[in-house]
Chain A
């Protein structure tokens, strides 16, 4: 869907056309999932929250300025939902220290090598990288997932997040530096 078709679909959404909104969802559901995963770290939660964000977006679509790109506007809704979710999770964890310790030891972003014939060493690295990713700040995770693991170009990331390319580079620099430090702390050699 090109920007003109997207603009037309948005206008139809503003008139309550749910099918038109389906086109927007199909276009952005995967980037929305990656962004949510960057924030909340759990695939199931990322799926749920990204869907909630689309529902909120449709409800408030009349507030959206059609002359601008959809995703940066949608991104602000998604980000707020992710932060609310993290805030609620923190409150829940305070209720159970055991659960917090358990989750910090086990949780990881699920990453895998495309090559199916991988060895045990490679699988171990995947697990450790997933854990290291989980320890990054949400904004660092987000940009690492988009660029490092999903091969989005800088321009695509800039368009998605509504930030300049210079910011993409500086955010990516600090994110990769932190990832490297985390891997060093975990004793990963590569």
Chain B
């Protein structure tokens, strides 16, 4: 078998994660292959220098608050959904009411009608524009093919 087959097994050998049979096969290969022996020595030195190193953990207080943060956010999310739903219903009703009052009432001055109509069209245009931009941006990143 070639060295490429043994290279991943060198890791298992170094970390004592191989079966006895696999370890014997690696040892037999190492007896014949100076390159793999030298590479194993390099990896052993790397392991030695980092033997007692650990990734610095966040303070205990972060772990104590970890679950409560998640719990609160789950709870708040439900609140936000209900709040948004209620706002949408009331806004839609308000809009309907304004339209009915302004456009069906013949006593309302035409300037006010034009003003309200302009406001509604402007709001709808902005809304559609923002939604369209969000939709297309989420589908494609124009820089994704650029290698950095």
Contacts and interface: CB of A to CB of B under 8 A. Distances in A.
A78 to B, nearest CB: 13
A111 B73 contact: no
Contact of B45 (A87, A90, A112, A190): A190
A26 B46 contact: no
B148 interface: yes
B46 A51 contact: no
Contacts of B45: 190
A169 interface: yes
Interface stretch (B2-10, B83-91, B99-107, B109-117): B2-10
Interface string B46-85: 1111101111111000110011011101110100000000
A168 B142 CA distance: 34
Contacts of B7: 170, 173
Given A25-B70, A55-B74, A173-B11, A114 B53 contact: yes
B27 interface: no
Majority DSSP secondary structure for residues of B touching A: helix
Contact of B67 (A26, A150, A179): A26
B21 to A, nearest CB: 15
Contact of B53 (A37, A55, A90, A112): A112
Nearest to A34: B55
A126 B12 CA distance: 25
A54 interface: yes
Contacts of A172: 8, 11
A185 interface: no
B85 to A, nearest CB: 17
A129 B50 CA distance: 9
Contacts of B70: 25, 51, 54-55, 58
B140 to A, nearest CB: 11
Nearest to B42: A180
A161 interface: no
Given A18-B71, A47-B62, A55-B73, A91 B8 contact: no
B45 to A, nearest CB: 6
B143 interface: yes
Interface string A44-58: 000100010011001
A18 B75 CA distance: 9
A90 B55 CA distance: 25
A149 B55 contact: yes
Given A111-B55, A172-B11, A148 B67 contact: no
Interface in B25-58: 42-43, 45-50, 52-58
7 contacts: A25-B66, A34-B55, A47-B62, A55-B73, A147-B15, A165-B17, A173-B7
Given A129-B53, A170-B8, 14 more contacts: A18-B74, A22-B71, A25-B66, A29-B67, A43-B58, A55-B77, A91-B143, A110-B55, A111-B53, A113-B53, A125-B49, A148-B47, A154-B17, A169-B12
